[in-house]
Chain A
Amino acid sequence: MNRLAIAGLVFIVLLSLVALLAPAIATHDVGATNLAARYLPPDSKHWLGTDATGRDVFSRVVYGARISLRVGLVVVAVSAVIGTAIGALAGFYGGWVDRVVSGYLFNVFLAFPGLLLAIAMVAFLGAGINKLILALCVIGWVGYARVMRGQVLKVREYDFVQAARALGARDWRILFVHILPNAVQPLIVQASLGMAGAVLSEASLSFLGLGVPPPAPSWGVMLEEARDLTTLQLAPHAMLVPGAAIALTVLAFNFLGDGLREYLDPRQRRR
């Protein structure tokens, strides 16, 4: 794998550790406001300073990793399972199932801006972490379905699948034992890029006030709370720190996804 992908992977592992060990790493209570300690610059007590209500930025960013990764993992897992199943059925059985899925559903979801659909859903359902996850799954499954359908169409014609069919294997056995393992690689790439997308969407919606409700330390919420002029003037770190956290996490998953794609597909490998 290329160096950027390795760097991405290392960052993701570290971030996961931070999320898991958040209670041990955080130095302060994430919700504890302290009006006597507002807008403090970074020092030995508050490593990354404090925000407009005197909350410790470092501890909040550490706990924010939990929200980002949790939403990302759930969204990727659920959309991958649903998308894979739908894509596999469409590719395997063809006919009217495929016409509905790839002719209609894919076109609708491709023609519709994903973020807007998520915003619309949350607008009517109301904000909250589970509704946010639901909305992101509704827009997320299509990517996996497209990848899976393409793979099934390709692998279906391979000799060993034809052989299995000739030997009388049942449909589900052909799908799970012969086709699925051969389609896993592009799905892993899709999942890595999907994590980047989900983390980004969570932060976007939370930033707009439509995702994780404050005072939860979601990075999107932190950014939104720190972008008024007073805070920008007195404590720019309160905006810079969560901004950097979002950017680095998205970048890491994108690097990893791009690297994996090159690594798993030798034709795309450079040099």
Chain B
Amino acid sequence: MKRKAFDILRRLLILLLVIWTVVSLVTLLIEMVPGDPATAILGEQATEEMRTQFRQKHGLDRPAFFFSYNAEEGGLRWHGADNRYVDYWRALLRGDMGRSFRTDRPVVELILSRYGATIQLALAALFVAVLIAIPLGVLAGTNRGRWLDSALSVVALVGISLPSFVIGPLFIYVFAVWLGWLDPSGRFGWSSIILPAVTLGAALSALLTRMVRSSVIEELGEDYVRTARAKGLGERTVVYKHVLKNGLIPVVTVLGLQLGVLLAGAIITEKIFNWPGLGLLLVDEGIGKRDYRLVQGCVLVISVTYIFANTVTDLLYRRLDPRIRVS
């Protein structure tokens, strides 16, 4: 019991350390922007007065960190807590991520307006992946060593290697341009999520197929399977009722861990299908328009969601599987 509490505490400590690192990185990366952010945003024609005003408004006139180094002004200078790094943290703890450099709207508001679409896409992709992987994995596992198994494992490897920005345009070509069944992009009716979800879920479904397969093979060798067969159960019942129930435990973990990967992968998928989520906000509105404040917010929210999903999965998994809880 004491050991368990210590373990959870250790995980939480690492979680806090990771989040601290991410926030620090995001805050300090803005210092790496070549040249002056004010000029980059307002353009070369802006007057010096406009630039000063802009810097003042977004706190860019304040020192970047606790200390700064400038050879001309006498080397190392100490600024204390009066700096942008502390500013960002203070605001963040109040739930404030600053205002967009371009539109002047609060970054939190912009992010919240897009967050749901990204989560929806990630969950749909997860669903698609499971829907494809379980039957295919079972098929491969129960036909181990036959041509069907080999064929499926090659398909899975190809699926893992095919990046979303290759599959996506291919799907658009086939289903939107050629067959004309689905919308090529955007988020309108219920059907517009199909192509993005399949694109995002494809690589995961390939990975899961391999996992379900090896899980099924492993479980088929267990004693309880022999017992089930001996008492005259049909092969279908044995596989779907007994084997899958046990075999899916490791798969569930991977699912949770992959939710984070899907969130990051959604950036590209959203770009391909013009899906109005966080990724599109980051790439088009943030990076494309050099709205650095917005970029900071998006990167922060995506990575914290990712880290959070991973930690929750990890803790849940420990509860779900008694074998791990004991060891």
Partner of A251, one of B157, B176, B261, B264: B157
Q: Which residue of A lies closest to B164 (CB)?
A: A204
With known contacts A112-B307, A208-B268, A107–B169 Cβ distance under 8 A = no
Query: Within the assembled complex, what's the spacing in Å between the Cα atoms of A113 and B309?
Result: 12
Q: Does A250 contact B (CB under 8 A)?
A: yes
Question: Inside 8 A of B310's CB, which chain A residues have their CB?
Answer: 111
Q: Does B92 belong to the interface (CB within 8 Å)?
A: no
Return the chain B residue nearest A224 by Cβ. Answer: B165
Interface positions, chain A 230-253, Cβ under 8 Å from B, are 232-233, 236, 239-240, 243-244, 246-247, 250-251
Q: Is the CB of A112 within 8 A of B306?
A: yes
CB distance from A223 to the nearest CB of B (A): 6
Residue B29 contacts which of A120, A229, A247 (CB distance < 8 angstroms)? Answer: A120
Determine whether the beta carbon of A247 is less than 8 Å from that of B34: no
List B288-305 residues whose CB lies under 8 Å from chain A: 288, 292, 295, 299, 302-303
Given contacts A112-B18, A123-B287, A223-B165, contact A208 B170 (CB under 8 A): no
Evaluate contact between B169 and A254: CB separation under 8 angstroms.
no
Q: Does the CB pair B302–A113 fall under 8 Å? A: yes
- Decide if A196 is an interface residue (CB 8 Å cutoff): yes
B29 contacts A124, C-beta separation under 8 Å: yes
Measured in the bound complex, the distance between the Cα atoms of B306 and A113 in whole Å is 7
With most chain B CB atoms within 10 A of its CB, the pick from A107, A115, A232, A255 is A232
Q: Is B211 an interface residue (CB 8 A)?
A: no
Given contacts A124-B32, A124-B33, A124-B295, contact A243 B17 (CB under 8 A): no
**Chain A residues in 8 Å Cβ range of B162:** 247
Q: A107-B17, A125-B34, A126-B34 are in contact. Are A120 and B299 (CB under 8 A)?
A: yes
Main secondary structure of the interface of B (DSSP, over half): helix
CA separation between A126 and B29, bound complex, in Å? 12
**Residue in B25, B166, B172 with the greatest tally of chain A CB atoms within 10 Å:** B166
Residues of B with C-beta under 8 A to A210: 283, 287
Q: Is B141 an interface residue (CB 8 A)?
A: no
Measured CB to CB, the nearest residue on chain A to B19 is A111
- With both beta carbons as reference points, the residue of chain A lying nearest to B18 in the complex is identified as A111
CA distance A187 to B168 in the complex (A): 33
Q: Which residues of A contact B255 (CB under 8 A)?
A: none
Q: CB of A179 within 8 A of chain B?
A: no
Cβ-defined contact, A251 with B161, below 8 A = yes
Q: Is the CB of B163 within 8 A of A246?
A: yes
B170 touches A240 (CB 8 A): yes
Residues of B within 8 A of A119 (CB): 267, 282-283, 287, 299
> Total interface residues on A, using CB and 8 Å?
44
Contacts of B292 in A (CB 8 A): 123-124
Cβ-based interface call for B160 (8 A)? yes
Closest to B311 in A: A111
A220 with B165, Cβ < 8 A, contacts A108-B21, A113-B303, A243-B170 known: yes
A229 touches B184 (CB 8 A): yes
Asked if A254 contacts B264 (CB within 8 A), the reply is: no
**Which of the residues B177, B260, B271 comes within 8 Å of A113, measured between beta carbons?**
B260
The residue in chain B whose Cβ has the minimal distance to the Cβ of A245 is B166
Interface membership of B158, Cβ < 8 A: yes
In the complex, chain B residues whose CB is within 8 Å of the CB of A200: 163
Contact at A227–B306, with CB atoms within 8 Å? no
Does A92 count as interface, using CB distance less than 8 angstroms?
Answer: no
Asked whether B26 is an interface residue with its Cβ less than 8 Å from the other chain, the reply is: yes
In the complex, chain A residues whose CB is within 8 Å of the CB of B283? 119, 208-210
Q: CB distance A111 to B307 under 8 Å?
A: yes
B247 within 8 A of A: no
Known: A209-B288, A232-B173. A204 touches B303 (CB 8 A): no
Cβ–Cβ < 8 Å partners of B25 in chain A: 117, 120
Q: Is B195 an interface residue (CB 8 A)?
A: no
CB distance from B271 to the nearest CB of A (A): 6
B182 at the binding interface (Cβ < 8 Å): no
How far, in angstroms, from A204 to B164 measured CA to CA in the complex? 9
State in angstroms the CA–CA spacing of A165 and B264 once bound together.
47
Instruction: Write out the residue numbers on chain A whose beta carbons fall within 8 Å of the beta carbon of B286.
Output: 123
**When chains A and B are docked, how far (Å) is the Cα of A31 from the Cα of B191?**
39
Q: Least Cβ distance of B200 to chain A in Å?
A: 13
> Which listed residue (A111, A226, A239, A250) contacts B161, Cβ 8 A?
A250
The answer to whether B30 touches A104 (Cβ under 8 A) is no
Q: How far is the CA of A250 from the CA of B160 in the complex (A)?
A: 10
How many angstroms between the C-alpha atoms of A4 and B161 in the bound complex? 14
Do A232 and B177 form a contact, CB below 8 Å, given A243-B166, A251-B158?
Answer: yes
Pick the 3 closest A-B CB pairs, nearest first: A113-B264, A243-B166, A251-B161
Would you give 5 A-B contacts (Cβ < 8 Å), ordered by A?
Answer: A125-B33, A204-B165, A204-B268, A210-B287, A239-B170
Since A112-B18, A125-B32, A227-B172 are in contact, a sample of 11 more A-B pairs with Cβ atoms closer than 8 Å, ordered by chain A residue number, is A117-B25, A120-B29, A124-B32, A126-B34, A207-B268, A208-B271, A209-B288, A243-B169, A247-B158, A250-B161, A254-B161
